[in-house]
């Protein structure tokens, strides 16, 4: 996307925006020739001087537009086209200067001579310049369209990749969520079944093995510890009952700590429930 945005800006800067400057340069070149025609066509010194000033301004304006266009020539074709324009402009200026030198006068014969020079010599040079400018404009259109088509292809490819990535990510996340839910559901079901048997009095069967490091493992560890304490208490109770059946009433429990811990926990839980 960044590549597309950057190159789209390049298309605008080097192919689209310069078209206006090229059009203005073509207009100024026409104004240069029109000013030259005025210089060799008028028979008034004041009008001739006025047209000379206009000629100088249009020449300067044309060359300024050329300099604005020049940095946008980033391709070999554009550079070659610009070289052709420079050559055509130099040749036209040379002939144009000769025409003005001959025809900037009120002398009718010289004026007619200069007008003929414009027709025979300057007009072909001007046409070559105008053709070179038009060719540059056509080249920019061609290169701009080619770049735009390439960017469109890249954008379509990028969007396709994004859609594929989203689809793959969705499928993977769904598969992962199913796997995670199954990994949680299985040990929970095993724990449920084991707790039922535990409540029914089976304290000897092992509890399910839990590999995950989470609350389920802590629950299993707590129940396992409770099961161990119950077995110790039952075993100790059996031992004391056996001693008492043989007449030995001066006995004491060997798991006093476990009994007290269980009593304290029961009392504490009962107090919280109240």
**Cα 201 versus chain centre, distance:** 65
Contact (CB, 8 A) for 39 and 52? yes
Which one, of 160, 110, 154, lies nearest residue 11 by Cα?
A: 154
C-alpha distances in angstroms, 35 versus 90, 151, 204? 17, 45, 114
Integer Cα distance of 48 and 110 in angstroms: 14
For residue 57, the SS3 value is: helix
Q: What is the pLDDT along the chain (274 residues), one digit of tens a residue?
A: 566 666 667 777 777 888 899 999 999 999 999 999 999 999 899 999 999 999 999 999 999 999 999 999 988 999 999 999 999 999 999 999 999 999 999 999 999 999 999 999 999 999 999 999 999 999 998 888 888 887 788 788 888 888 999 999 999 988 888 877 776 777 777 777 777 887 777 767 777 776 666 677 777 777 777 777 777 777 777 777 777 777 766 666 666 555 545 544 544 554 555 5
Task: Output DSSP code: residue 120.
Answer: I
Contact (CB, 8 A) for 23 and 137? yes
């Amino acid at each position: 996307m960044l590549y597309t945005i950057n190159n789209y800006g390049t298309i605008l800067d080097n192919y689209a925006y310069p078209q206006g400057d090229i059009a203005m340069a073509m207009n100024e070149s026409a104004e240069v020739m029109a000013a030259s025609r005025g210089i060799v066509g008028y028979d008034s010194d004041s009008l001739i001087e006025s047209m000379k000033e206009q000629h100088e301004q249009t020449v300067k304006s044309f060359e300024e537009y050329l300099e604005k266009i020049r940095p946008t020539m980033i391709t070999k074709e554009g550079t070659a086209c610009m070289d052709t324009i420079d050559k055509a402009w130099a040749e036209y200026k040379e002939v144009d200067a000769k025409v003005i030198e001959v025809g900037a006068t009120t002398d009718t014969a010289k004026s007619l001579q200069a007008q003929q020079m414009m027709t025979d010599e300057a007009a072909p040079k001007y046409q070559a310049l105008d053709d070179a400018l038009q060719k540059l404009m056509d080249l920019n259109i061609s290169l701009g369209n080619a770049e735009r088509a390439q960017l469109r292809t890249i954008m379509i490819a990028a969007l396709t990749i994004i859609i594929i990535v989203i689809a793959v990510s969705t499928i993977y996340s769904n598969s992962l969520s199913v796997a995670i839910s199954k990994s949680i559901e299985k040990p929970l079901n095993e724990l449920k079944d084991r707790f039922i048997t535990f409540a029914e009095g089976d304290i000897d069967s092992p509890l399910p093995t839990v590999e995950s490091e989470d609350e389920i493992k802590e629950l299993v560890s707590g129940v396992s510890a409770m099961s161990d304490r119950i077995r110790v208490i039952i075993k100790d109770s059996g031992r004391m009952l056996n001693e008492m059946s043989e007449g030995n009433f001066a006995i004491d429990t060997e798991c006093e700590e476990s009994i007290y811990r269980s009593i304290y926990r029961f009392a504490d839980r009962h107090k919280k429930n109240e």
